[in-house]
Amino acid sequence: MSSTVASHSVRSADGTLIAYDRSGDRPALILVRRRGTIADSAPFGGLARLLSREFSVYTYDRRGRGQSTDTKPYAPDREVEDLAALIAEAGGSANLYGYSSGALLALRAAAHGLAINRMAVLEPPLQVDEAERPDPLTNELATLVSERRNGDAVEHFHRSIGVPAEFVAEI
């Protein structure tokens, strides 16, 4: 959606405009991306095309990204409200596929009782045991964020998990 005009939009409970596209004409499936991406970016572009054979695939710009607006202050529950608005737009219930922080958002939406038929989550960034000491990468990222070096933190994270340099530059 960053390079084209979104086909549709819906208003969230707080008035935020959520831009989305829909492809296919079957049961609704909403793709919930990680926070830093927009609707027409990888990895979901090709996935949406493939899934639209079996689903009505909704791809959307999360609040404050792409063509979606934002309302301050940020709160994760507002993003749940965004999903609720999309689910209502999709006919009242939907399937969710969440990736990374989008997986956490999908889980949060399910915990809030949204009308989710089925859900798949990929790589939710969860810490399994809170008693465990954070790994060195977590400490390094926390230091960068506390120093307000968010861009450096994003770059360091992606390099640390093996994302090729040319993709890190695009991020």
Is the pLDDT score of 63 beyond 70?
yes
134 and 121 inside one domain: no
Selection from 96, 94, 99 nearest residue 42 by Cα: 99
Per the CB < 8 A criterion, the answer to whether 12 and 78 are in contact is yes
Q: How many CA atoms lie within 13 A of 24 on its CB side?
A: 19
Q: For 15-41, how does the pLDDT look when each residue is reduced to its tens digit (9 = 90+)?
A: 999 999 999 889 999 999 887 655 555
**Are residues 146 and 167 both part of a single domain?**
yes
Tell me, yes or no, whether 32 and 96 share the same domain: yes
Residue 22 lies in a domain: yes
The average confidence (pLDDT) of the chain is 86
pLDDT at residue 170 above 80?
Answer: no
pLDDT at 4: 42
Query: Residue 137: is its pLDDT beyond 80?
Result: yes
113: exposed, middle or buried (Cβ count in 10 Å: 0-12, 13-18, 19+): exposed
On whether residue 1 sits in a domain, the answer given is no
Report how far residue 93's alpha carbon sits from residue 28's, in angstroms, rounded to the nearest whole number: 7
What pLDDT is stored for residue 133 in this prediction? 62
Q: Do 104 and 122 touch, CB atoms closer than 8 A?
A: no
Query: Domain total for the chain?
Result: 2
pLDDT of residue 1: 42
Q: For residue 5, name the pLDDT band (cuts at 50, 70, 90).
A: very low
Please tell me whether residues 80 and 140 are part of one structural domain: no
Domain that holds residue 59: 8-126
What tokens does 31 get? 């793709």
Q: Hey, CA dihedral for 25, 90, 83, 16, is it positive or negative? A: positive
Comparing CA positions, the residue from 30, 169, 22, 149 lying closest to residue 99 is: 30
Lowest mean pLDDT across 12-21, 67-76, 127-136, 154-163: 127-136
Domain-embedded: residue 162: yes
